Each structure stands twice: as structure tokens, then as C-alpha cells.
């Protein structure tokens, strides 16, 4: 899998799906338009500042709360290349995998990475490099089937490509 590169956006613990994308925006049909409201209640400037390839580094239980899949979709459509967190809400974890948004569990990264640090991630190896601090972290490995889903761009694309065999 290719290397992902971008700067870090730091968020704390227990960021729920309604903080990622508030319910008042769920009726928007265009997911790219929905991304304009991503993280608005936590960081009103996030959608304006995020650049393609950037990453979120967060605390425990990122994406907890309701299971609305639009939260993961809004993050992906905002341009984020991946999310690194101490842990994820289980439904959010599954929704992210289903749409091909790489997510990595790595408590060490959350403890060390600062806002704006330049990051590099190798998903298949779970290798995370903080280029700003010249530090390396190791995320939990994905099972091969989940890695194939992410590489395919999501569950439906993996099924279409018949890569899950």
C-alpha cells in the first residue's frame, strides 16, 4: 500500500459522530458539501484548513455515539487520508472500513504528535512516522481482508473487484 503524507490535526477523547458531523447537516445529499461542515462543533475552521492528505490524530473512542455513516464519509470527503487514534467507536470503525477510509489504532501517536506535525503513514505495515519529531510509532495491524477492503476503496468496491477471495 502507498505511503500517506500530510499534517496532523489533533482531537481529544470521545469525539462522537455528532461532533464529527452534527445531525443538522445529515439531510445534505452531496457528501462533498457535507464535508464542509465536518468537525464544525469541535473546530469551526477545520473544513477550511484541512488539505488533501492530512490526518486526524485523536484520543480514545473516536467516532463513538450513533452509527450514522455520514460522519466517516464527511471525514473522507474533507480530504483526510487517514485517522490515527488510541481507539475507535466500533460502529465508526466498521463504517470507515466500509468506505475505504484508513484508520489506525496507535495510543503512542496520540501521546506524542502535535498539531501541524508532518506525518507519513504506511497502512499495510502500520508504520507511522512523525517527520517533524523524527519519531516512529507502530499501529495495530489490519487483518488481510480489511486491508484489501481499504486498498479497494471500500467494501462495495472490493466486492465489485472480487478481491475478498
* pLDDT value at residue 31: 83
* pLDDT value at residue 1: 63
Provide the 3-class DSSP secondary structure of residue 136: strand
Q: How many domains does the chain have?
A: 1
* pLDDT value at residue 165: 63
Render each residue's pLDDT in the chain as its tens digit; 165 residues: 679 999 999 999 999 999 999 999 999 988 889 999 999 999 999 999 999 999 999 999 999 988 888 999 999 999 999 999 999 999 999 999 999 999 999 999 999 999 999 999 998 889 999 999 999 999 988 888 888 898 888 998 988 887 666
* pLDDT value at residue 142: 80
Range of the domain at 149: 3-161
**Given strand 127-130, what is the order of strands in its sheet?**
103-105, 82-85, 55-58, 3-11, 118-122, 127-130, 135-138
- CATH number, domain with residue 28: 3.20.19.10
* pLDDT value at residue 76: 96
Amino acid at each position: 500500500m502507498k505511503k500517506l503524507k500530510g499534517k496532523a490535526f489533533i482531537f481529544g477523547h470521545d469525539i462522537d459522530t455528532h461532533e464529527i458531523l452534527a445531525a443538522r447537516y445529515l439531510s445534505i445529499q452531496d457528501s462533498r458539501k457535507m464535508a464542509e461542515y465536518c468537525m464544525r462543533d469541535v473546530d469551526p475552521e477545520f473544513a477550511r484548513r484541512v488539505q488533501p492528505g492530512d490526518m486526524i490524530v485523536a484520543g480514545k473512542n473516536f467516532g463513538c455515539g450513533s452509527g450514522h455513516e455520514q460522519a466517516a464519509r464527511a471525514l473522507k470527503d474533507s480530504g483526510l487520508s487517514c485517522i490515527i487514534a488510541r481507539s475507535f467507536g466500533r460502529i465508526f470503525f466498521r463504517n470507515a472500513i466500509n468506505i475505504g477510509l484508513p484508520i489506525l489504532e496507535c495510543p503512542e501517536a496520540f501521546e506524542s504528535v502535535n498539531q501541524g506535525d508532518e506525518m507519513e503513514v504506511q497502512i499495510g505495515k502500520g508504520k507511522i512516522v512523525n517527520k517533524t519529531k523524527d519519531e516512529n510509532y507502530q499501529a495495530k495491524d489490519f487483518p488481510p481482508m480489511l486491508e484489501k477492503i481499504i486498498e479497494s476503496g471500500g467494501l462495495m468496491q472490493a466486492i465489485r473487484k472480487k478481491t475478498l477471495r
